Structure 1
Amino acid sequence: MLDHSIIEELKKLAKDEASFKRIAELFEQERSLRLQKEQHLNLLEAAIRNDYDSILITELNLEKPGPRIVYVNDGFLKMTGYKREEVIGQTPRILQGPKTDRKVLDKLKRSLQEGGSFFGQTINYRKDGSEFVNQWDIHPLLDREGNITHWVSYQHDITERKRAEQRLIDSNLDMNDSYEETKKIYLDLSPEGAVVGSNVAFREMLGYDKDEITNYNLWDLTPGKHADTLKSIFTTGQWKKEFADGGTKALILQKKNGLATQVEAKTRIMELKDGGHLIRCDITNVSLRKNVMKVLRQRNEEFNKIFERKADFKYGLQIDETGEPVFTWFSDGFANMTGYKPEEMKGKGGWKKLVHKDDQKPATEHLKSVSQGKSSCEKIRIVLKDGSVKTIMDYVKLDENDGKGGMKGSAIEVRKDTLSLV
């Protein structure tokens, strides 16, 4: 329900009882949307805390100085030692240093430029200068039209795991603290398929305690026909192929309560001191990851529903023979935001009239980058018809349907309440 003081103020502003009821309904709808969005964000944070050390979201632009950070969770702050206000607006380059692998970064950039995801690791640096091994799982965030708007990076500090991999484990399979307590999910199997070790994260995922889990073979933790397939793999010796060193195996595991969960196991064959072998599985909970991505998509949809209706317009643009940007068309939202009729701003002079004079130089560089085939995103100010100034996030790319080098852009108003949700 709306606060009593707000209700009283609406009554004063409404011209009659019917108007008051309608205004109150609209306020209540807006409040409900905001509450739903906050609930989705809280759900996302809870999922992240349970499965990831850190998460950050950046803007789209990959060109130097790199995509600016618009969101980090508390795990990122804990992992890196930075404060939130120290990283928002910066780029992930603040984590790089002398030992950061340039080849990995180049591979990451190529993958993202193609609109794909990236999984990799390299050395990063905390605020105090100390090193840690950062493993990324980076995915694009899309709007309802399928355009990439941001990058989301799930991160793990795998320093202890990398150190542990340098040590041989003994034949009794004693588990060190980094293995047992890490948020990563581990399962150790014998070549016969028996569960010989697991960490807390794996046992919590399936709902078993430490003593219970070692009484099972892998296929005992798998439902239906999947169990028969796995049993055959181990009893016929096919595990060397199916669980090969450095490979990835998709599995369906069954929790103690009977529910199934989809996972991926990155496998590593480890040699024991007694000459035997151990299959170490680094587990990713695919079901949980899908839920996280679903929540992220829902969050973007809610964001659009709340803010894009009145704070968004699209436009077409050409660069004329003198090098001046010229607007060619506008969407309906242009007049709502700026106060100008489209015909007032089309043609020569319109762009210079709309873009704030102090921002015309960076805006020109922004468009120059697009003309060279790169999508670009830039924060600029525009001057409205009434003389007031608004800040927009201007995303521009080449118009594939225009054979004359035209561009199309999307302008979204930047407001405090908008930025706090990203």
Structure 2
Amino acid sequence: MMFLKIRKRYLFYALALTSSAIASISAGVDVIAIRKYGEVYEEAPLLYGFSVFLVGFIITLLFCLIFSIPYKGRSLGSFLDPAFKHLRFVRKEEIAYHLLAGFGNAITTTGYFFVLTVMPDPSTVLPFYQTVILYLLLVEVIAEKNAPTLVEIQSSAIVTFGAILGSLSFKGEIDLSALAIVFLVVNPGWVLLSIYQRKLKLLKIRGEPNDSLNIRFWNILFSLAFMIIIMLILGQFFKKPLLTIGTESSINFFWLVSVIATLAFFSYIFHIRALGIGKASVTQAVKATTIVFAIPVTFILSMFIPIPFPTTPTLWLIRSIGFILVILGIISFAITQVRAYIFIRAAPGVRVAKLIEEIWKIKGVDSVSAVSGTYDVIARVTTRTLLKGYERIVKRLESIHGIKEFRWNSILKEWENV
């Protein structure tokens, strides 16, 4: 069995950027679809969101079954994710993560389509989502019990400010209602989705890495379940059979939504794989390039539906500055992450299993292995910066009873199967 090898850092950027490019195309098609829905249905955003999950589930199931077909000793899906073997049942340890990710996906998608009704130009809508980097950074800081570095604060501020500048409407105004929906609904939902999809990707299933295709399949199934609940509740509130209408709209626009579901499938597969390599905040920072990819999509979209463009050089300049700031923020934000191997020698008489248990509790440790030879344990760590992470992890190691000595080796280059 042959696998193409690629440096892990390059693979991460390739996956995240590919996901962003596909997502920008999907957003453009979303605009056309939601307008089509609006011509027929009064509750277009909600119904379209439901259709995306219902049709998306069918398309995802179809793709997963096709990619489960064996080919030359491996599944077809292994070309997308080497960890994929076949579609499988969800395991007990995954359910809690899938529930939280599914709920996040349902509310962020619903909010997203409401935003599209207010701001139909994708290159205007998408920048608002990049402020989720601040949310993700905050969650990671709390989870790691470690304050952000100055570089991280600066990078996050640059990306956020650039996203806001890039999100100026073509009339030179920011739609406050759309902004409120993004900050209070879409971004929190996306945080849940990203954090728990990353946890799922890092989860070991029967001792082997979890794969992005099964994660996507079960995520959209759980998301659909939450969406059905939302439709039933809102149906009672509005005194309308929204679930029935939503199913009908899914049938009427099946092929159009199928195109979007196909784009979303591949975008999420690459995004989930990227989450398994980099932190959620870093992955989202790279994904901010969606606003750049959205520019050509907007021009193409303008050939089919009327979209106003900036009428003054000033507006073009402001938006261009916003795009540049986002890209600069991504670069400075992403390069702060450091990975390393720590080679540890246990003191005589110390149980290695107990030592591994203590090392595993250290925030930033990705894996711990007992080995033979000069050293007894090898730990792999990921930290946001070399200086701050090194100090924190080293202090923690020095406080663990039973470690005779250890050696820190930063990873300069790393390869992985594509």
Q: Same fold (TM over 0.5)?
A: no
Task: Determine which structure has greater relative contact order: mean sequence separation of CA pairs < 8 Å that are 6+ residues apart, divided by chain length.
Answer: 2
Task: Compare the two structures and name the one with the higher helix fraction.
Answer: 2
TM-score between the two structures when normalised by the length of structure 1: 0.26
Q: Indicate the structure (1 or 2) with the bigger Cα radius of gyration.
A: 1
What TM-score results when the alignment is normalised by the length of structure 2? 0.26
Bigger strand share: 1
